[in-house]
Amino acid sequence: MYDSPVSLQEACVDFICDNLEAVCETTYQYNQNESGPGQLEVEAEGSTTDDKSLSAGNLEREENENLESGTAIARIGLGMGFPSEAAYGTFRVARRAAALSTPSTPSRQPPTKTPHLVFRDRDAFLPSEISERLLSGLCERGHLTDETLSLFSGRQTRLRTVRMRNAPPGITARGLRFLRNHKIIHLEATGLRSATVSDVVSALGEWSVQNLRSLGVSRTPFADVPPAPYLALGRSPASNAREADRSSATEQLLASSPGTSPATSRCCVVVSLSRLRHLRHLDVSGTEFNRHGLEVVCEDLPFLESLDISSTLVNDVSPLRRRKATLRSLAMYNLRVCNPGGAASIISELGQLRHLDLSDEQDNHPFEVFAAAAAAAAAAAAAANGRQPIGVGVGRGGDNHGAGNNGGASVGGPIRRLAGEILSNPQVLPLLESLDVSGREEVEGGPALCAWIDAHPQLRFIGLVQTEACYDETFTDPTLPTFRPNLAVSGTACESQILEALRRYSSRPLYVQKCLYNLFRLTPTFTDARVDVIQLVLPGMSEHREQFGVQMAATACLYNLTKGDLAQRVHPSVLRQVVHLTLNAMETYPNHFQLQKNTLLTLCSDRILQDVGFDKFRCARLVMDCLCTVDDPSMNRMSVAICSILAAKISTHETSLLGAEAKYMQKLLEIVKSKVDDKCVDITMKFTLSALWNLTDESPTTCQVFLSAGGMPLFLEVLEVFHGESAVETKVLGLVNNIAEVAHLRGKLMVNQFMEILRQLLHSKHIDVSYFAAGIIAHLASGGEDQWTLSAFHREELLSELGTVVLKWETPEGEMVAYRSFHPFLPLLSRNVACQVQLWAVWAIQHVCTKNAKRYCPMLVEEGGDAILGLLVEDEQVDPSVRGICQSILRVLAAEGFFCKPSTAPPDSTP
């Protein structure tokens, strides 16, 4: 199971993530002055001296930060083209807001209590590596909330690197404040929806502010109420709903005139970023970050080495000149600039660049409409103050010639010639190690591209997805002299290119989708387990749950990569991720036939269902929903097979929840009815009966639903139509045995027609059929003569037959049945029940304890069955056959190391 210490470590973290309630408890702590942004929470009791001093010193620091923000807002406001009066008005408002945000006394507002998670073991402490894995694991599972973040308050955990990728919606500024007590060097908080970039920066302690090296806030809003389309990086082209979102976002941007709150919020964020003086890596992709933010960042972050401004509103990259001595990595995927030629010239000056990403999508660009809106907003502001707008023009083609002077407020079309300009000059960027020109129509293979590559001997990667160049033999044929084995290429021409693309572009849905479609064509040829490929499919699938094309292609690939014997050679931890993401796809697209079929094909695997740990109740529920939604024979067969196995593995509470759904029960009974009408016993029929059997196991609720849905008359018909089919008879009687265990439902089984069939099956030559028929009679008879309502069958006669049959049974070679507990048997061992009933019960206990002692012996002792058996052995009035079997069971317990001391109290005589 655990192939290395790392996987064991992951298993421990997985256990904590999935069992937080078991390992943690909730305490309540008092907070004061929550209205102050970024203020620390102060405990009413149990606070350490360091906590209190940190809280007291926070007010002064925060006041200084707010005043600094107010001053910088005015400077940025002027740079954004706001009229000077508005800028100074913004400055005054910000200064006033800073003053108001710092209360004069800590007791201005009454304290409130908030829940905090702590480990139940107060001495527990997780080192940084485990703490970081735990935080990431909670985020991946969607369990990260303000409350679970409180587990990272710093007392029992230590964080240096924080990764919250695609953060769940439950994270707010309050939860982020728990990061303040850690010394954080690397911080990634992408896709936040209830917190802003400013909240992220404000959550850092002073040490982290001074020492943070990398910050990733991709798709996290700058303003408090972000336009929805900003939250998707590089999304593919639009539907009608997308156009509606764009219109809404345009209105918001038009409304962000000088001095309004959203614009001020965006300015504050840039100021927050500029405080991180030692930052070396910054990722603001997919946000409202613009040219003026770029200007401030390039001026105020002197050590900046890596910058990702992909899919932002930056329309002029000239501020990058200020960082040409330090910048080593620049990503401009899906970026719109006003002057492609000028942008190429500026980039060419960045002589220290090692990594350059100029990739694009050959489709409509999601941020073009926002650029247009920004230009319109700037024009409206200028007109309102009697000024002429600077170069307001929008295009999809080449240069926007009216936008040459520093870009101004103008916007341009796609940089269709930017990559061509760079590739036309082999002398530029001599230190380049990776270049990505994916999606650029002007990029072609041939001698020119080969010459450029030859001029860059340090080049180790080139991105060519969605270009014809990736099919050039130079990149696909290792036998050619021009082929460079040390040059990685992303594209769709061969396996290596596809895998490289999946490795690099997990955040780009269009690229992921195209690569997965091409990968699917290759997967049928794989003859060995390809864990490396699976692990490249999963990230894109996880990140783009709402992208149908990605999910469709991913589920098809995963089935081909895990089907049959291939799954046996894949580690359970990897298969666990496969199942989790497969269920996500199933849940997101419940009505899509082919995708649902893909998911069922993947899940219908013995290796997955038997050996892999995952949320089996969720899986069973989704499969049952699919069974009720899609009417297809092959899918019905897979659905009932999966449910029959999972129903035996989930708790009795969960089986009751499933069985209580009338639509599920009705659908299963409909399948049985159709097989009865066709007089057909196939694998679907058998799995359906098994599913019903397992769903009713120790679940009175499900048993009641079964009876209410007309299950009993149908099962009588099954026994008549399929007489002699022992596999069918065993499953039917097993389910009815579950009903017979429920005292208040036994009257429903006191039917002459059923008892006549039952009496015949009691004498079946198949021991499993006879066993369950005997169990039903034993339970029905255990209530005594008063509860026996069958006039056509005498209770004593049936009991006599029961005893005779049980004594004739020979021990079967294998285990006939699995039990969740021995609770249904204990009432049958009471002194006031018939000896034949006791005989069947002790025979059943002996059978499972001898066939699977490791499982059933501890269960029997834990439930007190050993004490009851001891009393029966000592009671000379008990039937000798019963006492003999009891002694045999006690010997098995002793062999397993259990010391069985009889209880002094009599067993419960209540049936």
pLDDT at 44: 32
The whole-angstrom separation of Cα 300 and Cα 270 is: 10
Tens digits of residue pLDDT in 358-374: 999 865 443 333 344 34
How many residues would you count in the chain?
Answer: 911
Tens digits of residue pLDDT in 749-793: 999 999 999 999 999 999 999 999 999 999 999 988 888 988 888
The whole-angstrom separation of Cα 577 and Cα 525 is: 23
Name the residue with higher pLDDT: 384 or 171: 171
pLDDT at 93 over 60: no
pLDDT at 446: 84
pLDDT at 583 over 50: yes
pLDDT at 651 over 70: yes
pLDDT at 268: 55
User: Quick one: tokens of 616?
Assistant: 């089996």
The phi, psi pair for 713, rounded to 5°, reads -60, -35
Q: Where in 646-741 does DSSP place strands (E)?
A: none
Name the residue with higher pLDDT: 103 or 731: 731
Mean pLDDT, to the nearest integer, of 335-353? 88
Instruction: Give me the percent of the chain exceeding a pLDDT of 70.
Output: 77
Contact 596, 560 (CB under 8 A): no
pLDDT at 840: 96
Average pLDDT, the chain: 81
State how beta strands 281-283 and 355-357 pair. unpaired
Tens digits of residue pLDDT in 133-174: 999 989 988 889 999 999 998 888 999 999 998 888 889 999
The whole-angstrom separation of Cα 811 and Cα 801 is: 19
pLDDT band at residue 17 under the 50/70/90 scheme? confident
The whole-angstrom separation of Cα 450 and Cα 100 is: 62
Q: Which of 705, 790, 774 is nearest to 734 (CA)?
A: 774
For residue 734, give Cα distances in angstroms to 34, 469, 643, 760.
60, 65, 17, 16
Contacts with 869 (C-beta within 8 Å, 6 or more apart), sequence order: 829, 842, 845, 886, 889, 890, 900
Tens digits of residue pLDDT in 236-245: 433 334 334 4
Using the 8-state DSSP alphabet, how is residue 798 labeled? H
pLDDT at 15: 84
Run of H or E residues at 286: none
Instruction: Count how many Cα atoms sit within 13 Å of the Cα of residue 557 in the half-sphere of its side chain.
Output: 33
pLDDT at 49: 40
pLDDT band at residue 488 under the 50/70/90 scheme? very high
Instruction: Give me the percent of the chain exceeding a pLDDT of 90.
Output: 61
pLDDT band at residue 224 under the 50/70/90 scheme? low
Q: What is the SS3 assignment for 155? A: coil
Of 371-375, 553-557, 617-621, give the lowest mean pLDDT range: 371-375
pLDDT at 827: 93
510-545 CB burial, b ≥16 within 10 A, e <16: bbbbbbbbbbbebbeeeeebbbebbebbbbbbbbbb
pLDDT band at residue 522 under the 50/70/90 scheme? very high
pLDDT at 170: 82
Contact 219, 231 (CB under 8 A): yes
pLDDT band at residue 812 under the 50/70/90 scheme? confident
pLDDT at 375 over 90: no
Q: What is the SS3 assignment for 112? A: strand
Contact 635, 680 (CB under 8 A): no
pLDDT at 229 over 60: no
State how beta strands 214-216 and 186-189 pair. parallel
Mean pLDDT, to the nearest integer, of 455-477? 93
Tens digits of residue pLDDT in 654-708: 999 999 899 999 999 999 999 999 999 999 999 999 999 999 999 999 999 999 9
Strand partners, 435: 356, 462
